Amino acid sequence: MERARVAFWSVGALWFALSAGIIALYLSTATVSVRDPTEDVRKAADRYRDALHNVTATPTNDPEMLQARAQARATLADFWRAMANPGPGEERFALKVAFRDWAGQSEHMWLDNIERKDGRFSGVLMNDPVLVKGMRRGQRNEFQETQITDWTYMRSGKIVGSYTMLPLLKRLPPEEAARYRAMLADP
């Protein structure tokens, strides 16, 4: 039986409760079995997606997602500067961090209430994990800077950063994508 690595974006978790200051969008990576060697990886991912409800599959080597994560990493210093000295209307700072559990499941999840001191990083998990075990929403978690895959904050009611959201917008119905794009500081 052939194995395929795919990434899952939870569109159900692509929700913005701006009044509550919650921005949750996460990526989960899992290994799924392909029943038939000729079966398309996306079909295998769709089987798994259906089990997770409201999840869209993205291959882990998706060039747009890899580019988005690279852009977020390349501009991380901008996030740290803004968080250290917020300008007018800048608030709700959050990081997307890749976590792996003891069973090898990995998931990229948003954390807020970020603390950074003496080379150590921690934040409070903003959603309940889908795949990673042993973590829960509201729990403070430590992480390494190398685990950060995206960042975001609000500036005068608009979303700054959140680079990994952009590839997802192409997978949404046009009206829904336009609604989210209107929330971005740089659409």
DSSP letter for each residue of 93-117: EEEEEEEE-TTS-EEEEEEEEEEEE
Higher pLDDT, 71 or 28: 71
* Pairing verdict, β 27-34 and 22-24: unpaired
Tokens of 73: 């990493």
pLDDT digit string (tens) for 31-88? 333 334 444 444 444 443 343 334 455 677 889 999 999 999 999 999 999 999 999 9
* 186 falls within a domain: no
Structural domain boundaries, residue 10:
2-181
Tokens of 135: 């973590």
Q: What is the pLDDT of residue 57?
A: 53
| Residue whose structure tokens are 């390494």 | 144
Q: Which residues contact 18 (CB under 8 A, 6 or more apart)?
A: 154, 157, 183
| pLDDT higher than 80, residue 179 | yes
pLDDT digit string (tens) for 93-113? 999 999 988 877 778 889 999
* 187 falls within a domain: no
Q: What is the pLDDT of residue 134?
A: 86
Q: How many domains does the chain have?
A: 1
Please return the burial class of 134, using the count of CB atoms within 10 Å of its CB with bins 0-12, 13-18 and 19+: exposed
Query: Computed from CA positions of residues 10, 129, 163, 21, in that sequence, does the dihedral angle turn out positive or negative?
Result: positive
* 135 falls within a domain: yes
170 by DSSP, 3-state: which? coil
* 20 falls within a domain: yes
At position 101, the amino acid (one-letter code) is D
| pLDDT higher than 90, residue 121 | yes
